Amino acid sequence: MKRTTIATVLLLCFMVSFSFSGVVAVCTAEDATVSTYVSHYYTLYSLSSAPVMLLPLIILLALVALVSYVQKQPNVGFLFTAVMVVLYVVFLATYSAENRNNSVYNILNAQFEELGVRVRKRDFNIVMTPNWACYLTAGLGVLTAAVSVPNFKTKLTRYHLKAELEPYVYIAPQIVLFVTFSLVPIVYAVYAAFTQWDLYNDPVFTGLNNFRTILFDSSNTYYGQLRNGLWNTIKFVIFTTPFCIAVPFAIAMATRQLARGSKLLQAVYYLPSLMSTTTVMLSWKYFFNNTYGAANNLLGSTWNWFSPPYSWVMLVIVTVWWCNGGNMVIYQSALASVPQDQYEAASIDGAGSFAKFRYITLPNLSYPLMYTLVTTVIAQFNVYGQPNLLTGYDYNGATAVLLMYIRDAAFTQQIAGIASAMALILGVTIMCVSFFQIRMMRGDSKRARRARV
């Protein structure tokens, strides 16, 4: 039997054994001992600790390794299997070492209450031991990796092995980080949106109850927060996006025409983009403070720059000043790639500056403009730091955006289910807007190509 077939069978056995794996939790207090069995699949949905985040990654690596073996790529399968085994061992070691796991504590505490024993949480000392299936699962993983170990005997085989695995080695760290810190949290956030969860205890599945509350229950506080926050977020996108496209584009065009000092000006314009949100917002807030700010002292006034409707003007100015560097660099690179012979031919034909800009510059920059428009809209939809630090919830939340309400609901009020539902609505809104943007841009590009033909 070929080693790929053996590795495939062993990996399937790993998955079956994984489904029977879990830990046995035991706690003794006041001469009473209680115990419970916690399976990996229960742990997967409990959201009770950080090591739980490794379980989806382990399952994903097992599936990728299985596909690799089926596709007759044992070397690639070995790579993913080895990483899977290491992460599984790390999960067992870290999860079993937790002596105050909230999810397990709730189960054991309920058993103590049934026995009539009251135990304070600080007195809990939970001992968690992996069951026999965990050791069998780890052994099957190690055996699968051992069966599919690549051949290192000759120089030629080592060369082919390097050529086959090198691309995966380069992208593996990025994939692991993306799955662990982006994909898995997104999946858990979607799951949490359909639960009642306080970040500490196990989430309780409630179906569409959270969405029913924030979308249709006008007597609920979160109903108003969703509408006010989402509307303020949309206003922020509408107010800032045109300037975040036009101002960097104008700066790129202007600095490109300068014979001397263009690099210095580019560095000056890009410098604010290197500063953190807190640094920029607090600097502007102190400068325009109505009591001790430098602006009012110079003007001899007590004007409140951050009161509606002027607060929106300040938010737009600060955001454009802070964010124009990245788009400016993209436009400068795009402008440098425009063929100069097109401008020379247009000059010979008597075209003016506006005609050159309309018929040469803009068509050549259509894709950079489309890219920056989509990314800018997504970035502005995710606004949080500017209104939170400059204005907060002042004036009845006149500039409070949806992410501020989401953060407050999740971490201050500990109503993570409602917060996840709000975040999911915001994410769907961003996807819909981006989809229509890309569709319209592609339609314009196709019409432009037909016109040129």
Contact present, 105 and 127 (Cβ < 8 Å): no
- The model's pLDDT over 387-416, given as tens digits with 9 standing for 90+, comes to 999 888 888 888 899 999 999 999 888 898
Contact present, 331 and 248 (Cβ < 8 Å): yes
Give percent above pLDDT 70 in the chain: 97
What pLDDT is recorded for position 445? 60
Pairing of strands 32-39, 127-130: unpaired
Residue 232 pLDDT greater than 80, yes or no: yes
78 by DSSP, 3-state: which?
helix
pLDDT band at 425 (very low <50, low <70, confident <90, very high): very high
pLDDT band at 215 (very low <50, low <70, confident <90, very high): very high
6 by DSSP, 3-state: which?
helix
Radius of gyration of the chain (CA): 29
What pLDDT is recorded for position 115? 81
Contact present, 358 and 376 (Cβ < 8 Å): no
- The model's pLDDT over 146-196, given as tens digits with 9 standing for 90+, comes to 988 887 777 777 787 788 788 888 887 888 788 878 888 888 889 999 999
127's enclosing H/E stretch is strand 127-130
pTM of the predicted model, to two decimals?
0.81
Q: Name the nearest CA neighbour of 331 among 263, 261, 255.
A: 255
Structure tokens at 115: 């026995």
Q: Name the nearest CA neighbour of 358 among 421, 451, 284, 434.
A: 451
Residue 374 CB-density burial (10 A; 0-12 exposed, 13-18 middle, 19+ buried): middle
162 by DSSP, 3-state: which?
helix
pLDDT band at 199 (very low <50, low <70, confident <90, very high): confident
Contact present, 84 and 141 (Cβ < 8 Å): yes
Per-chain mean pLDDT for the chain: 86
Q: Name the nearest CA neighbour of 393 among 404, 403, 385.
A: 404
- The model's pLDDT over 6-59, given as tens digits with 9 standing for 90+, comes to 889 999 999 999 999 999 988 887 778 888 888 888 888 877 777 888 888 899
Average pLDDT over residues 214-233: 92
Residue 354 pLDDT greater than 60, yes or no: yes
DSSP string of 245-302?
Answer: HHHHHHHHHHHHH-SSSHHHHHHHHHGGGGS-HHHHHHHHHHHT-TTT-HHHHHHT--
Alpha helices in 198-257 (DSSP H): 209-216, 221-257
- The model's pLDDT over 56-104, given as tens digits with 9 standing for 90+, comes to 889 988 998 999 888 888 888 888 899 899 999 999 999 888 877 778 8
